[in-house]
Copies of this chain bind each other. A is one copy, B any other.
């Protein structure tokens, strides 16, 4: 277990998956301690910092990386285990963004109506209490919400020579915006280019399912990931595993296609690693799948569909990679204390 650290300088962030040279090489099995800036580039710090003033498009959602994974080749699968994700500041922010969000017309669903007003909500982050505090901006309601830190954006370089904005979720991962991307979870991503070119960012102290207005409780994060590689196994869409669930993430528009992709991929996965006939998997998922929508705001919408492992035949998935990484993570954590 090698531990490496990386803290990007201001000019080192990347704004796309693909089309960017790596910042660093890591070996399969390495633990990487890193820092990610928030999706606003740290520019929203108070109620007057509306996005149209403080952000210069397209410099939004900076990514830390990409990391070149030694030995990764197209046709392999990258496994990324989230060891820890911790907010690195005592505040976090959310806003409305003009022509963005599920209850607004957008550049893709345009209307002739006036856009919504730009409003900023600042959150207090209490790392000891594990909470973030919401304050109404146009009223006086204040409430503590449990912290549940996650990364909205996690991905590799896409296939077919493409480079995609860090705002886009798709087959390569990217801006999935799912609360399932939390510590203790392993994320499997298909490798499309040599070195995989893994990057991540867009930390959220928490978010609701669907990320309604398009902006979660955005925060810079101190994050530790454990990276590994499964040679010679193709993964078409991002998959996640934690102790209780195997999960597939489909990203598309309209939203029913994101759902179809995630469920189709789960059927395929249950067939590959659990030996179920695909129609039997279809039936079982009909009765047991949990389907927390991830985002209904990004250029593609994302659904994460989950199969509880307790209802599945003996696996394990990906040869037991999740259990192995979890154990290594425990060793690492023991070392740190």
Residues of B within 8 A of A96 (CB): 279, 282-283
Interface readout for A297-330 with B: 1 if CB under 8 Å, 0 if not? 0000101010000011100000000000000000
B111 touches A210 (CB 8 A): no
B113 touches A105 (CB 8 A): yes
Residues of B within 8 A of A211 (CB): 286
Whether A291 sits at the interface, judged by CB under 8 Å, is yes
Interface readout for A114-144 with B: 1 if CB under 8 Å, 0 if not? 1111010100000000001010111101010
B105 touches A276 (CB 8 A): no
Size of chain A's interface in residues, with CB distance under 8 A? 90
A113 touches B112 (CB 8 A): no
Whether A70 sits at the interface, judged by CB under 8 Å, is no
Whether A217 sits at the interface, judged by CB under 8 Å, is yes
Least CB distance, A290 to chain B, in whole angstroms = 5
Looking at the complex, which of A31-39, A45-53, A224-232, A249-257 is the stretch in contact with chain B? Answer: A249-257
B305 touches A210 (CB 8 A): yes
Cross-chain contact of A137 among B18, B105, B283, B289 (Cβ < 8 A): B283
If A285-B212, A288-B145, A311-B143 touch, does A163 touch B19 (CB 8 Å cutoff)? yes
A284 touches B164 (CB 8 A): no
Cross-chain contact of A260 among B103, B136, B289 (Cβ < 8 A): B103
Cross-chain contact of A212 among B208, B289, B312 (Cβ < 8 A): B289
Residues of B within 8 A of A212 (CB): 263, 282, 285-286, 289
Looking at the complex, which of A80-88, A154-162, A181-189, A195-203 is the stretch in contact with chain B? Answer: A154-162
Q: Bound state CA distance, A101 and B105, in angstroms? A: 13
A134 touches B287 (CB 8 A): yes
Interface readout for A1-30 with B: 1 if CB under 8 Å, 0 if not? 000000000000001101100000000000
Q: Which residues of A contact B (CB under 8 A)?
A: 15-16, 18-19, 57-58, 94, 96, 101-105, 108-117, 119, 121, 132, 134, 136-139, 141, 143, 145, 159-165, 206-217, 252-257, 259-261, 263-264, 267, 275-280, 282-293, 296, 301, 303, 305, 311-313
8 tightest Cβ-Cβ pairs between the two chains A and B: A254-B254, A58-B160, A208-B289, A255-B255, A209-B291, A138-B277, A110-B264, A212-B286
17 additional A-B pairs beyond A18-B19, A217-B287, beta carbons within 8 Å, are: A15-B160, A18-B163, A58-B161, A94-B286, A108-B252, A108-B261, A109-B257, A110-B260, A112-B264, A119-B279, A134-B283, A136-B283, A161-B163, A162-B163, A208-B291, A212-B263, A253-B253
Could you name 7 residue pairs across A and B whose Cβ atoms are closer than 8 Å?
A: A15-B161, A103-B111, A104-B112, A110-B264, A162-B164, A216-B286, A254-B255
